[in-house]
């Protein structure tokens, strides 16, 4: 299995994603340059966090016109797996692959801290290793993470079970005080109608090894690899077991 990690001018989480794919998930990874249309026959694409093109105009507004995103759009329409993390989520919304927009945080401050997110849909290629209702602790680091969409879009997301993650407290309650950025109804991640494109503000690659303070982010990568391998996944019971389970997945 081969993952492609896109590099834009201003990306700064690309190497983190690369490390997690190769060293934790034990899969092949390659970097994809923003100015190339060649996706190098990758099985899944990751659009990492950072500040693509300096976030000029607004986050993702320039990145959506890049040659690589034209290919990503075709790849996604054909059913390819695409994960957008933080700035990647913003780019996916700007590119029209996901609905809505990411606005500036309420309070207009950059927020960087671990948060809890509750898994609302575990029937996606990105959450198959999770339990519905499970609470994951994964860090965020953003200035524009305030998800917004109109009423019709929100109703559609709810109807089709496309809200994949909500910000919650550690007990799994969707509470206002658990919302770090003002996001509409505590939305932390959504998917496309066909479930093959996911955008999420938290950074799973920053919670994939015990040395980073937690391994809940492994669930996302384990799910992706498992979905591509077409195998049943067993949810580990501990952090050390978590790492062994991911390492045992097929390469």
* Residue in 13, 86, 149, 191 annotated catalytic: 86
Say which residue the tokens 């509750």 belong to. 118
Which strand (E) or helix (H) includes residue 84? strand 81-85
93 is catalytic: no
Tokens of 110: 């950059």
- Count CB-CB contacts under 10 A for residue 164: 26
> What does DSSP say about strands 101-103 and 146-148: parallel, antiparallel, or unpaired?
antiparallel
Which tokens hold the place of 23? Answer: 């060293």
DSSP bridge pairs for 47? 84
Catalytically annotated residue among 94, 120, 144, 205: 205
Catalytic residue flag (residue 205): yes
Query: Would you call 167 exposed, middle or buried from its count of C-beta atoms within 10 A (0-12, 13-18, 19+)?
Result: buried
Max distance between CA atoms of the chain, in angstroms, equals 45
Q: State yes or no: is 120 an active-site residue.
A: no
- The catalytically annotated residue of 203, 209, 218, 222 is 203
User: Which residues are identified as catalytic?
Assistant: 86, 203, 205
């Amino acid at each position: 299995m081969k993952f492609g990690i896109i590099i834009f001018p201003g990306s700064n989480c690309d190497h983190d994603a690369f490390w997690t794919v190769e060293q934790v998930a034990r899969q092949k990874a390659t970097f994809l340059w923003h100015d190339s249309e060649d996706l190098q026959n990758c099985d899944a694409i990751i659009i990492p966090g950072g500040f693509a093109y300096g976030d000029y105009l607004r986050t993702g507004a320039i990145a959506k016109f890049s040659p690589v995103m034209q290919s990503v759009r075709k790849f996604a329409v054909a059913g390819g797996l695409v994960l957008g993390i933080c700035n990647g989520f913003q780019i996916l919304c700007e590119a029209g692959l996901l609905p809505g927009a990411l606005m500036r945080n309420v309070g207009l401050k950059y927020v960087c801290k671990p948060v809890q997110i509750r898994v609302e849909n575990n029937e996606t290629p990105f959450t198959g290793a999770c339990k519905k209702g499970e609470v994951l602790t994964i860090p965020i680091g953003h200035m524009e993470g305030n998800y917004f969409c109109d009423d019709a879009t929100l109703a559609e997301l709810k109807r089709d079970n496309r809200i994949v993650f909500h910000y919650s407290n550690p007990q799994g309650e969707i509470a206002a005080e658990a919302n770090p950025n003002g996001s509409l109804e505590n939305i932390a991640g959504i998917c496309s109608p066909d479930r093959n494109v996911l955008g999420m503000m938290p950074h799973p690659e920053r919670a994939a090894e015990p040395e980073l303070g937690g391994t809940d982010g492994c669930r996302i990568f384990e799910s992706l690899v498992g979905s591509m391998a077409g195998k049943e996944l067993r949810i580990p019971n501990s952090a050390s077991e978590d790492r062994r389970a991911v390492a045992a997945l097929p390469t």
